[in-house]
């Protein structure tokens, strides 16, 4: 028992290494940009541009850190108590050895729950680990060891499960980190070129005018551009992919494995059209879209569905008003 507990603690500690790495890179980038570039490198004749650089840098830095913090420390939402089996039913379920009998117990318990999705075999989705009937779009995260509402994926870079409670924060984290890196790369580029081509001759007569001094700041600026450009490329692809997911109202899990409804699997089962799909994540009030505060629609337990196989961008979407009881009567 004790070795298992120690191993678990070690795993939790090691899981913070990627977050610590990102935090150290961000702290270094702040020092390199503000101190080494803006204060020590940019000449006094560039005081106006230096002020503009610092203002926009701190705006992007604050929004990036804020959204990153919210993504890390927002606890994943879990199924409510109504999705737990009653004590008597739970005992019966555990005693039953036949899967058919277990499914009968689950069907009775789920008769009053708003469920539209099934397993691939058409059975009720149940988590033996958490001992709950899984709501639609809910999945068990082995890293967090819990069922997460509208789970998207477990991200090691935030040491947290990305789902219903923090998916908007994750999207903003990608957006502001991309903006942060792009701003750094764009403003550092001219000084990167100057340092890269810095005259190494000792004779002042042979050096170009307005050249920067050959100091240790050169290494910070050169490395800062390389790091910002590298992160830009990696974040851009991930950010573009998640924007596509938001537009389709899919999670990463659903993109790889389409949800199964009464009529079968349907990759567009939760898609309501482009505008409504965006509102599902960011909310109805556009003034809050760019702020890392929770504005997503719904409670994470139930979601409006189409229950048709048409592409929402090629046909008119009609929202389903079916209830679970309607499904039960037709199965």
Task: Write the secondary structure of the chain as one string of H (helix), E (strand) and C (coil).
Answer: CHHHHHHHHHHHHHCCHHHHHHHHHHHHHHHHHHHHHHHCCCCHHHHHHHHHHHHHHHHHHHHHHHHHHHHHHCCCCCCCHHHECCHHHHHHHHHCCCHHHHHHHHHHHCCCCCCCCECCCCCCCEECCCCEECCCCCEEECCCCEEECCCCEEECCCCEEECCCCHHHHHHHHHHHHHHHHHHHHHHHHHHHHHHCCCCCCCHHHCCCCCCCCCCHHHHHHHHHHHHHHHHHHHHHHHHHHHHHHHHCCCHHHHHCCCEECCEECCCCCCCCHHHHHHHHHCCCHHHCCCCCCCCCCCCCCCCCCCCCCCCCCCCCCCCCCCHHHHHHHC
Residues tagged active-site: 155
């Amino acid at each position: 028992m004790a070795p298992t507990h120690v191993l678990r603690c070690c795993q939790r500690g090691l899981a913070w290494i990627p977050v610590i790495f990102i935090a150290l890179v961000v702290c270094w980038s702040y020092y390199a940009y503000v101190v080494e570039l803006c204060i020590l490198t940019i000449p006094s004749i560039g005081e106006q541009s230096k002020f503009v650089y610092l203002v926009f840098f701190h705006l992007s830095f604050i929004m990036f850190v804020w959204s990153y913090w919210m993504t890390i420390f927002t606890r994943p939402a879990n199924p409510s108590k109504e999705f737990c089996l009653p004590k008597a039913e739970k005992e019966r379920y555990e005693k039953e050895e036949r899967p058919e009998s277990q499914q009968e117990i689950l069907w009775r318990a789920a008769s009053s729950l708003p469920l539209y999705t099934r397993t691939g075999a058409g059975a009720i989705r149940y988590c033996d680990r958490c001992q709950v009937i899984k709501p639609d779009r809910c999945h068990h995260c082995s890293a967090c060891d819990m069922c997460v509402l509208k789970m998207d994926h477990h991200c090691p870079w935030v040491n947290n499960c990305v789902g219903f409670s923090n998916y908007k924060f994750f999207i903003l984290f990608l957006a502001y980190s991309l903006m942060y890196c792009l701003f750094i790369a764009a403003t550092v580029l001219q000084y990167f070129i100057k340092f890269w081509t810095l005259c190494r001759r000792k004779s002042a007569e042979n050096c170009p005018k307005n050249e920067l001094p050959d100091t240790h700041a050169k290494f910070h600026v050169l490395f800062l551009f390389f790091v910002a450009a590298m992160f830009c490329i990696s974040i851009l692809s991930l950010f573009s992919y998640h924007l596509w997911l938001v537009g389709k109202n899919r999670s990463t899990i659903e993109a790889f494995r389409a949800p199964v409804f009464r009529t079968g699997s349907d990759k567009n089962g939760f898609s309501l059209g482009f505008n409504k799909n965006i509102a599902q994540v960011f909310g109805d009030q556009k003034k809050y879209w760019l702020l890392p505060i929770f504005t997503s629609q719904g409670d994470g337990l139930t979601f409006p569905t189409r229950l048709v196989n048409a592409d929402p961008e090629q046909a008119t979407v009609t929202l389903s008003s079916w209830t679970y009881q309607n499904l039960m009567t037709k199965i």
